[in-house]
Amino acid sequence: MTAKTFFIRLSGLSAATALLLALLWWLALPAQVHGGFMVLTVLLFAGVCTGLFFAGGRAAQSSSKMAFNNLVSVSVFGKMLLAVAALYIYQQVAEPPNQWFVGIFLSVYVIYTAFEVSFMTKLAKQ
């Protein structure tokens, strides 16, 4: 997968995710207090995917047979820590009036994780 293809797909996915979150924001009053969090969550996972794409490309071309597997292992653990930290920090700093932010975050997490699996699989095949 080329960088151009990756960024086109990432842009499309991010636009579709933003549209879904905008619909949620518009239709569900309790979700409206989390508008900024929605934007930051999309940006966070788009950034994580971008970093993993470039790291995955280097690891796939590495002479070490284990480099790509190690990257996948570290990224899974790191992303879980990042997710817990993001939720905890938002809860402590924003003191949200409801728990909708957890569902919003997990939805975005699942969407971008599926995309990550897709492009990492393509990188591994190269």
Band (4; pLDDT cuts 50, 70, 90): very high
Predicted TM-score (pTM) of this structure? 0.91
64 φ, ψ (degrees, to nearest 5)? -75, 125
The type of residue at 113 is: T
Q: What sign has the CA pseudo-torsion 101, 107, 113, 118?
A: negative
Tokens encoding 66: 């284990």
Burial environment of residue 125 by CB neighbours within 10 A (0 to 12, 13 to 18, 19 or more)? exposed
Tokens encoding 23: 């619909």
Tokens encoding 58: 């280097």
How far is it, in rounded angstroms, from Cα 119 to Cα 51? 12
Summarize pLDDT for 34-44 with one digit per residue, the tens.
Answer: 999 999 999 99
Cβ(14)–Cβ(46) below 8 Å: yes
pLDDT at 65: 81
Given a cut of 80, is residue 15 above it in pLDDT? yes
pLDDT at 124: 87
Going by the DSSP 8-state scheme, the letter that residue 1 receives in this structure is: -
Summarize pLDDT for 51-73 with one digit per residue, the tens.
Answer: 999 999 999 888 888 999 999 99
